[in-house]
Amino acid sequence: MNIFTFLFVVSTYLLFIIFRSFTEVSLESQLLFSSFFILIIGIPHGAIDHVLFFKKRTLSQIKFYAIYLGLILVFLVLWIYFPFWSLLLFLLISAFHFGESQFSEIKASNLIKYLLYPVWGIALLSTLMHYNLLELIDITTYFKDTNDLQILYDEGFIFQLYLITNIGSVILLLLLAVKSQMNLDRLFSELFLLIILHITFYLFPFLIAFTMYFVILHSIKVMHQEYQFLKNDNDTFKLIDFIKILLPYSLLSIFFTALIIALSYVGIISYSVPLVSIIIISVITLPHAIVMHIFYNE
């Protein structure tokens, strides 16, 4: 168990106790909870992509920003014309990215690594969907444009995916242990984490469960990796320096996210607030996942 899993277990316990005091947690409260933590912790974890990239590769700033923003634009266009495929692509990219950040320091053959990352990530997302499918369908049927994406939420398909990828993840983890590429302590920690994720996703509503994973096990962990990397590069680098470099792009992202959501809310943008939120998250995930892939591998 690492410190992030410990934090996750403690948070799950505390939130469970708090949530038990209420008979039902409204969707508005869930949205408020999730938006708050995703904005203040989730967004900053991707706010120094440019710093990480330039520590790893040499490229002119203009080229980097052109490619970074170009990817965002291309994905945005894809969303407008092919929303279903875009959602699918977003889920696959996210699954790979979550898996990669979870096992970034494991030294294994490319074949096992590139199998483990998406399989573990899909196991994570399908588990979340499997335990909260009815709620997810309820949320998406509320708006016309999100209703169109429901084709993905086929109960039988999600269940098969849940089963296959969870079993697949366990087999791949065991394989890593057998090949001595993962020690027993780490193996038990990963199996323990899988069980804890299942319990959390079962106990909590969709949005809360995802936010807890995304904030504690993903964003805080990635920020810690980023901080350690920059600290190793410069001994005098302190936490306050890290916050300083996180702030500008975090604030900019939060501002634009809030602006676009507000435009959707007042009807200037013809997409519903939930769909706009998914689109924003997905278009910024694509270049972030690519930069983090370079960060972890080079």
Partner 1 sequence: MLLDIQILDPNDYVGFTFFIGYMAMLAASVFFFFERGSVDKKWQLSLLISGLITGIAAVHYFYMRDYYLATGDNPTFFRYVDWTLTVPLMCVEFYLLTKAAGAKKSLLWKLIIASVWMLVAGYIGESFSDGTAAHSVKWGVISTIGYLYILYAAWFGEVAQLAENSGSAAVKRGVRTLAWFVLVGWAIYPIGYMCMDGGWLNTSLGWASENVDLWYNIADAINKIGFGLVVYNIAVTESK
Minimum distance of partner 1 from residue 54's CB (angstroms): 33
For residue 211, the SS3 value is helix
Compute, in degrees rounded to 10, the torsion defined by CA atoms 75, 76, 79, 81: -100
Structure tokens that stand for 124 in this block? 């994570």
- Identify the CA nearest to 95 among candidates 127, 47, 136, 70: 127
Exposed/middle/buried for 288, CB within 10 Å: 0-12, 13-18, 19+? buried
| Structural element, H or E, at residue 128 | helix 110-131
For residue 17, the minimal CB distance to partner 1 (Å) is 6
Nearer to partner 1, 196 or 290 (CB): 196
Nearer to partner 1, 13 or 84 (CB): 13
The DSSP-derived string for 88-124 is HHHHHHHHHHHHHHHSTT----HHHHHHHHHHHHHHH
Nearest approach, Cβ of residue 130 and partner 1 (Å) = 19
The residue among 24 and 185 lying less far from partner 1, judged by its C-beta, is 185
Q: How far is it, in rounded angstroms, from Cα 180 to Cα 108?
A: 9
User: Given the complex with partner 1, which of 6 and 54 has the nearer CB atom?
Assistant: 6
* Smallest distance from partner 1 to CB 1, Å: 6
DSSP result, 13-65: HHHHHHHHTSS---HHHHHHHHHHHIIIIIGGGGTTHHHHHHHH----HHHHH
* Separation of alpha carbons 179 and 257, rounded Å: 45
Burial call 225-245: b when 16+ CB within 10 Å, e when fewer: bbbeebeeeeeebeeeebeeb
When the beta carbons of 1 and 175 are compared against partner 1, the nearer one is 1
Residue 13 or 255 with smaller CB distance to partner 1: 13
Closest CB 53 distance from partner 1, rounded Å: 32
Residue 205 CB, shortest distance to partner 1, in Å, is 15
CB of residue 3 to partner 1, shortest distance in Å: 6
Phi and psi torsions of 130, nearest 5°: -60, -45
What type of residue is 294? I
Give residues in contact with partner 1 (CB under 8 A): 1, 3, 6, 10, 13, 17, 20, 185, 188, 192
Task: Report the nearest approach of partner 1 to the CB of residue 23 (Å).
Answer: 12
Residue 20 or 107: the one with the smaller Cβ distance to partner 1 is: 20
| Nearer to partner 1 (CB atom), residue 62 or residue 184 | 184
